[in-house]
Chains A and B, each alone.
Chain A
Amino acid sequence: MQELIEILQNLHPEVDFAACDTLIDDGILDSFDIVSVINEINDTFDVVIPADRIVPENFNSAAALWELIEDLED
């Protein structure tokens, strides 16, 4: 989880990713950020997030994203 927060923090140092749960709804992460994050996750966790899992519910908060990664690792 900490590694994921770091990835996100690198993109937007000004956002409190541990608390925010409207990353998509409030337009904090744009489509370019999402692709970057997916690439970083692939590097770090060796998990490929397929396009059909790119939905707001999975990217609105760091926690939701973490859940997605865990789910895909199975």
Chain B
Amino acid sequence: MYFTSIPFIAFLCLTLLVYYILPRRARWVLLLAASLGFYAFSGWDNLCYMAFVILSSYAAGCFIQKTNDQTKAYLAEHKDLPREEKKAYRAAQKRKSTAWLVTAMLLNFGVLAAVKILALPQIGGIFTDYVMPMGISFFTFRTMGYLIDVYRGKHPAQCNLAKLALFTSFFPAVIQGPISRYDSLSKTLFEGTGFSLDVFGKGAERIIWGYFKKLVIADRLLVMVGTLTGTPGEYEGLYTLLSIVIYAAALYCDFTGGIDITIGIGETMGITQEENFLSPFRSLNIFDYWRRWHITMGTWFKDYIFYPISVARPMMKLTKWCKKHLGDKTARRVPVYIATLVTWFATGIWHGASWNFIAWGIANALVIVASQELQPLYQKFHLRFPKMKGKGYDSFQIIRTFILMSFIRAFDIYPGVIGTLKQLSTIFWKPSPAKFIAGGLTSLGLDTAGLIAAAAGLAIVIASSFIKKRPPAIVFALLVIAILIFGVYGLGFDAAQFIYNRF
């Protein structure tokens, strides 16, 4: 049941209706039932994976909580213990919590790794057509984030199994995130806020906007991307450049559209989720980009992988050693660069167990390191040319970052690491502008009408990014009509199917 299917829309309307009929205290229970139902729709066996994540995190979380409480109570009771003994007690208790955390994480990430490997075509094909449980990366990460935060004492554990189950399974976010944090999502998730036309309207508008981006633009552009990347040898040179730029637009509309629907659904129920995008194509550099694109994933990796690695005790020791033997400057770089590489390697794997994604992660890490290394050069440049600042320079940076990130994203659409690199290289060594001009755009799977629809849609999205005021309701009425008419869905009306063949 995808967001863009009619059953989903019916399911959503029904859930909303019952949600507001029920008394406020019971609403989260309905959400839980709806979420489990929604997930079960993708296959009962998938529900087992989710149940495993919920139950194991529930057990570990509650145990860690109990240990923490125990520690506090014990220390409060024995205030006059010597400091050393207190410390030893604390450490012993922490070890217990750590054991639970590590066990739960090993189990959950183990299962995640296993299904990712099973889903590889060269492996899954041996058994059956194994399909990865829908959204498993997202809900596993979301729930593990919860568990780590309990361990860190950021918030208490949720010892109501049903509430934890809702946090893990919350249906709008189960397929593609955002990877909300427990302390932020739980503020509104269980509240059952009263109906407010204003808030509901905003949510509905956001949902409409999301569908518009997805159905009118993304699904059209993805047809072109499919053609351009389906036969890579056919479309080289400038077509490769076109392909990565169109993919940038398609992915943006697809992903942000999906997140708009997710956040909008939450809003219609008075539930606030974290933003996942912040005008990513206005990023000035790659650091900026990763603060604006897929934000909840970025902060997850930063908080739970990057920082823990870079400030871990062995890393500190390594830094000290470097300081002594290799100098200050190197020592400052070592921990962050190692942490960056590991983090991006993991981010790559998270996207999928394939060399392409690993290469994608490493490419990000390399660009980040290179940008960092180039900082002094940029500073010198700005000292020498102090006038090279302001809007013009910003635009240059924005375009540069857009193109750079589009190149990195090529690993996402072309087969094989070497294949991708080769394909990208054709942009430079055989751009073939004549072939590009002769071939044009209409051979890429969209006819003129389709191209116009996609271009007009993109123009609306771009224009909307300059408007800060909330548009009047009638605009959204028009958008609904535009989605229904120009959306890519249903059996395309094909006149050829209607040729009367004598019956």
Contact = CB atoms under 8 A, between A and B. Distances in A.
Interface of A: 27, 30-32, 34-36, 38-39, 42-43, 48-52, 54
B310 interface: yes
B307 A51 contact: yes
Contacts of B152: 52
A54 B303 CA distance: 8
Contacts, number: 45
Contacts of A35: 307, 310-311, 335-336, 339
The majority secondary structure among interface residues of chain A is helix
B302 interface: yes
Given A31-B306, A32-B336, 18 more contacts: A30-B287, A32-B372, A35-B335, A35-B339, A36-B336, A38-B311, A39-B332, A39-B335, A43-B323, A48-B313, A48-B316, A49-B311, A50-B311, A51-B307, A51-B308, A51-B311, A52-B153, A54-B307
Interface in B283-305: 287-288, 291, 302-303
Interface of B: 152-154, 287-288, 291, 302-303, 306-308, 310-313, 316, 319-320, 323, 331-332, 335-336, 339, 372
Contacts of B302: 31
A7 B302 CA distance: 23
A49 to B, nearest CB: 6
6 contacts: A36-B336, A39-B331, A48-B311, A51-B303, A52-B153, A54-B307
A30 B311 CA distance: 15
Contacts of A31: 302, 306-307, 336
A2 B228 CA distance: 59
A39 B349 CA distance: 29
Nearest to A32: B336
A54 B65 CA distance: 21
A51 B305 CA distance: 9
A48 to B, nearest CB: 7
A54 B311 contact: yes
Contacts of A43: 320, 323
Contacts of B308: 51
Please name the 7 residue pairs, one residue from A and one from B, whose CB atoms are nearest each other, closest first: A52-B152, A51-B308, A51-B307, A35-B310, A54-B307, A32-B336, A35-B336
Contact of A36 (B287, B291, B320, B332): B332
Contacts of A42: 316
A5 B287 CA distance: 25
A31 B308 CA distance: 12
A51 B302 CA distance: 10
Contacts of A49: 311
A39 B306 contact: no
